[in-house]
Structure 1
Amino acid sequence: MHDEVTAALLCALRQPGRSPGRLLLTGWFSFRDGEATAGDVLAQRHASAELTRAGIRHDTAWSPGFRPGELSLETARPEAYDTVLFVCGPVHGPQVTALHARFRACRRLAAGVSVVDPADPAATGFHEIIARDGTAAPARRDLAATAAAGPLPPVAGVVLSRGQGEYGARRRHEEVNARLTGWLAGKDCARLSADTRLAADDWRLCTTAEQFLALVSRCDLVVTTRLHGLVLALRTGTPVIAVDPVAGGAKVGAQARAVGWPALVDAGALSEEVLDHWWRWALSGAGRLAAARHSVR
């Protein structure tokens, strides 16, 4: 069954004499200087699936900063489309107004959007708006709420050390952190940056040790260059990939050996192949079982 917004959209698209020949699907994810939020992308996925189901030929315009090489507003030829559909986000501001100007010859619809100011040219430029909020009509459910989604990837806590000047010339922290974060950027996971430092005046940091333990206990694994990133994650039974950022090894490596934790990588041996090996192991039954043996209940 269609949600209310989708049903109204398909009704608008199928009006006699107005059935689209080819439609361009757009949103804030299309603007070079816009942003692609998780909600925007799920709304696009939902709209695209419904258009396909309805037999409506369409393309999606993506921001070149988000999906380089894909069709963009700049490379989409206005004459190739008779309809433009804008989904999710506010219909507000100069970027949306510019969309109307570029595709002035097309019929322009918006669905699942917020109307901030009904008099804004960004809003008045649409031939029809099926809003989720901001109009006299009752608020409607957001398109992202029912979009298809795949299996959820693992959550990786990332606990990095950036100081430790006491190690002098043996420090490899900057190089190790850059290689680790570059590697993590390519993994299909939800990355959660965490810090063992506690503070009462910074909402981004934990205030108590128990708060930090609660945080890492909810991760599927932790990647760390800090000794206590290793110790406290294992205390909660969370698998860890520990990387010693000091040339020749220091306290991270010593602690891993002291507790018999195998997923240890020395700064000089850091490579994607080694990290990938321990990633697979940490998320496997063997890795989870090994971490469970270290937990303090």
Structure 2
Amino acid sequence: MPLNGEATTAGRPVRVLLTGWFSFLHGEVTAGDMLAAEAVQDALRAASVPYTTAWSPVYRPDAPHLDDADPDAYTHLIFACGPVHSRPDPDGGPSPLMALHRRFAGCRRIAVGVSVPDPADPAATGFHDLLPRDSARQAEAGQTTADLSVRAARPAPVPLLGVVLTGGQHEYGPRRRHAEVSEALETWLGTLDAARLPLDTRLDTRDWRIPATPAQLHAVLGRLDAVVTTRLHGLVLALRAGTPALAVDPVAGGAKVSAQAAALDWPAALTSESVTPQNLDELLAWCLTPEARHRASRTADRSPLPHPLLDALIQRLAPSDGPTA
């Protein structure tokens, strides 16, 4: 229910500190927890309740952090999503939730959208109000509630990028720039607002995380918005699937990746010497355009056409009077 005017608690204006497992230094930040926090934030804003969200300094170094929050500045503490338990920190430290109860003892503490494995756990009984999504008691009564993350606003779409990198190719000896190129690409990829999917062109019938057939890899490549790769087949198979590829040749002076980009008349290719954030940004922006998608589709359409190397191979199999060059 929206609050009329400025709500107060014991004469003090209501001020909420929003926390969760995402607030702890060694806590885990999950997409579900973050979306649950966004749903709570939306509800607080709609009710005109001022709040601050505390984030782990590991995940958000520049955001407000739990250690910096003054307990006296808040009337309420909300703990959103995740399990409620008093188990100690994996590193041997005290229970994060029990420490939260002690430090914010002067606040009214509310847990919302949480799982409660044991209602008698002191971490659970330490809250003044417990609004679980599921608990042992709710399960017995068939009264579980949908997770808060389902109420979070739908996000704007972001590109889906496949990433195919190689650290091998030792046959190029001192010309190898694989480590430097991979480091530059990984740093750059981390700055993008995109969904990044690590992929490999290697096949394996024993590991479900790796495609077992080319068709399985093709199915993934064809659903991507673009591919970022340092592998020859990362480039070729992306284009074969009709997906634009940003290819980087990790060999100084250029080698097989550059050669394939030239053979396929594909412009979104860089040498190891030209890898800069600006160049990567510009080529990725082009790869995400309809023009690039159309050009990649034209490359895919070439696959049924005759191939000069296959023609040459068949010619070599024809009977002859002597060896050919």
Normalising by the residue count of structure 1, what TM-score does the alignment of the two structures yield?
0.92
Partner residue, 1:229: 234
Deviations 1:236-294 (A, max 9, x none): 10000010000111111101100101101001111111111101100011111111111
* Preserved CA contact (<8 Å) 1:20 1:56: no
CA deviations on 1:154-194 (whole Å, 9 max, x unpaired) are: 01100001111101000000000000111111011000000
Match of 2:299?
Answer: 294
> Any residues of structure 2 matched to 1:91-130 within 5 Å, and which?
91-92=84-85, 93=87, 94-130=95-131
How much is the aligned-residue C-alpha RMSD, in angstroms? 1.9
Match of 1:136 in 2: 137
Letter in 1 for 2:171: E
Encode CA deviations 1:47-87: one digit per residue, 9 max, x unaligned. Answer: 01111111211111111111112211100000111110000
| Residue pair 2:118, 2:136 contacting (<8 A) in 1 also | no
User: Deviation at 1:18?
Assistant: 9.7
- Paired position in structure 2 for 1:3: none
- DSSP-derived class of the 1:196 partner: coil
Structure 2 residue ranges without an equivalent (≥5): 88-94, 304-325
**Does the Cα contact within 8 Å between 1:221 and 1:239 map onto a contact in 2?**
yes
Q: Which has the larger radius of gyration?
A: 2
- Give the distance between the partners of 1:155 and 1:16, measured in 2 at CA: 47
Equivalent pairs counted in the alignment come to: 287
The TM-score, its normalising length taken from structure 2, stands at 0.85
Query: Which residue in 2 is equivalent to 1:4?
Result: none
**8 A Cα contact 2:113 2:131, kept in partner:** yes
Q: Which residue of 1 aligns with 2:154?
A: 149
Q: Which AA in structure 2 matches 1:42?
A: L
Check if 1:64 corresponds to 2:57.
yes
Q: How does 1:166-181 map to 2 (within 5 A)?
A: 166-181=171-186
Q: Which residue is 1:75 aligned to?
A: 68
* Residue 248 (str. 1) matches residue 249 (str. 2): no
Superposed displacement of residue 121, structure 1 = 1.5
Percent identity between the two aligned chains: 51
**Is 1:20–1:83's contact at 8 Å kept on the other side of the alignment?**
no
Whole-Å Cα distance in 1 between the matches of residues 13 and 161 of structure 2?
44
Q: Does 1:185 align with 2:186?
A: no
- Partners of 2:17 and 2:51 within 8 A in 1: yes
Deviations 1:187-211 (A, max 9, x none): 1100000000011122221111111
CA deviation after TM superposition for structure 1 residue 150, in Å: 2.5
Q: 2:43 matched to 1:50?
A: yes
The corresponding residue for 2:202 is: 197
- C-alpha contact (below 8 Å) 1:78/1:103 kept by paired residues: yes
Greater relative contact order (Cα 8 A, min sep 6): structure 1 or 2?
Answer: 1
Moved more, 201-210 or 256-265: 201-210
Name the residue aligned to 1:163: 168
Question: What secondary structure, in the 3-state scheme, does the structure 2 residue paired with 1:132 have?
Answer: strand
| Partners of 1:70 and 1:157 in 2: CA distance | 30
Matched residue SS, 2:233: helix
CA distance in 1, matches of 2:269, 2:103: 55
Query: Are 2:33 and 1:40 equivalent residues in the alignment?
Result: yes
**Partner-residue secondary structure (3-state), 1:245:** coil
- The 1:199–1:16 alpha-carbon spacing in structure 2 relative to 1, beyond 3 Å, is same
Structure 1 residues not aligned, in runs of 5+: 1-6
